[in-house]
Amino acid sequence: MELSESVQKGLQYLADPVHFDLKTFTAFTEVAFQSLISSRSECGLDDPQLKHIDQTILKHCHIATTTFILESVKQNADKSAISSCLEDVSFDTDRIDVFYSSYQHHKRTLENLLESIGRSPPHITDVLWRLDYCIKNSHVHKVNQPSYLISLHVENDDSGGPPKEVNFNCTMEQLQDLVGKMKDAAKSLEKATQS
């Protein structure tokens, strides 16, 4: 498994007993897995057992660990592959065992999460739009502005399920900006395919 220099450095901090003793390492590992699984927006780095660690190092280790976890799940890594990678960044056997135990416990949930994301982004198959004119807002202030309601029908090749709708509301300026960006993207894609 290939890991970037930044990920390796973050994992080396995590392997260092000066920064993370075994108890802190265990708490941190659980926080890292929970941050990937949880639907909450905060990642749990405010855990009381992690308060004494420098926030810069803590965040670097968190990014490195979550990257390593996702890469391991993506490649369906077994214990020998994980052990080999973690030994390369100076993990001892106790830390490897703690990490692998959490990995095994959360692996199926993470696989489901990655499968739900899919392999390719959804494709827009149809666009519907409607022009509304807003006279007053909910505070009874005069607005007198046009507003566009856009509905994108999208399909995902991976899921094979029914098409979904993505709905949003925008002003004329926002719609013009969106159209301009779409044209730029189409030109860039055309140039890339021609070279």
pLDDT in tens, 123-138: 888 999 999 888 887 7
Edge-first strand order for the sheet with 123-136 is 123-136, 142-155, 164-170
CA–CA dist 61, 43 (Å, integer): 13
- Look at residue 70 in the predicted model and tell me its pLDDT: 92
Q: Is the full-model pTM beyond 0.75?
A: no
Please enumerate in sequence order all residues whose Cβ is within 8 A of that of 25, keeping only pairs 6 or more positions apart, or say none: 14, 95, 98
> What are 114's strand-pairing partners?
none
pLDDT at 48: 78
- pLDDT score recorded for residue 65: 93
pLDDT surpassing 60 at residue 38: yes
pLDDT band at residue 115 using 50, 70 and 90 as cut-offs: confident
Average pLDDT of the residues in 75-92: 92
